[in-house]
Chain A
Amino acid sequence: GEDVEQSLFLSVREGDSSVINCTYTDSSSTYLYWYKQEPGAGLQLLTYIFSNMDMKQDQRLTVLLNKKDKHLSLRIADTQTGDSAIYFCAEIPNAGNNRKLIWGLGTSLAVNP
């Protein structure tokens, strides 16, 4: 079946690194995504990784994919108060051409000054 799980809350101090974890169940997933949602705002694509990659780095963001364990993580270096938001992990299962996203419940990141 299709399921994406994330821890619900993470609290870090400003300047520290944040690591948000996600597990998924569909081993045939093609792409995995991280979205950010700020209060009252829409969903903003942060980054994505193709399933044949292990790592992707984009400025302060590092995505690690362990396909064997079906584990995805998002590391935010030098976390700032502006990074406070809900972070969603999402996958596109390989089945079908509709490319609909299956989402986790989101991890609420609180950055303390």
Chain B
Amino acid sequence: DTGVSQDPRHKITKRGQNVTFRCDPISEHNRLYWYRQTLGQGPEFLTYFQNEAQLEKSRLLSDRFSAERPKGSFSTLEIQRTEQGDSAMYLCASSLGGPDGYTFGSGTRLTVV
């Protein structure tokens, strides 16, 4: 297991299109997080899964955003009817819930044109 994988690395889409990102966490990690980072900002929390249960969603996650982790392993983040303001780096992280923080993936950079 080489860490947290995210796919794709880059996505350019036209406004109004739907996009889906995938995250494969470290296999033994039961916690999975999605964050969003825009230029010059720190990451902002979007949502959190423990196993397959989505336990918290940020109010940043509008109705156009949905995330799933169907079998408690990989997760998907879908954005419907994309807007230019959705352009950002979408980061996935996983952890065991211990003190040594998360392991982050390299992120998916979304550009909405």
Contacts and interface: CB of A to CB of B under 8 A. Distances in A.
B95 A99 contact: yes
Interface residues of B, number: 25
Contacts of B101: 31, 33, 35, 45, 48, 101
A34 to B, nearest CB: 10
Contacts of A30: 99
A105 B41 contact: yes
A100 B43 contact: no
Contact of A101 (B43, B100, B103, B107): B43
A88 interface: yes
A31 B99 contact: yes
Residue among B42, B97, B102, B107 with most chain A CB within 10 A: B42
A99 B42 contact: no
Interface in A72-111: 88, 90, 96, 98-106
Given A50-B99, A98-B48, A105-B42, A42 B104 contact: yes
A43 interface: yes
B31 A99 contact: yes
Interface of B: 31, 33, 35, 40-45, 48, 55-56, 91, 93, 95, 97, 99-107
27 contacts: A4-B42, A31-B99, A33-B101, A35-B101, A42-B106, A43-B91, A43-B93, A44-B104, A45-B100, A45-B102, A45-B103, A48-B99, A48-B100, A48-B101, A88-B42, A88-B43, A90-B42, A96-B56, A98-B48, A100-B56, A101-B101, A102-B45, A103-B43, A105-B41, A106-B40, A106-B41, A106-B42
Interface of A: 4, 30-31, 33, 35, 41-45, 48, 50, 88, 90, 96, 98-106
Given A98-B55, A105-B40, 14 more contacts: A33-B101, A41-B106, A42-B105, A42-B106, A43-B93, A48-B99, A48-B101, A98-B48, A100-B48, A101-B35, A102-B45, A103-B43, A104-B42, A106-B41
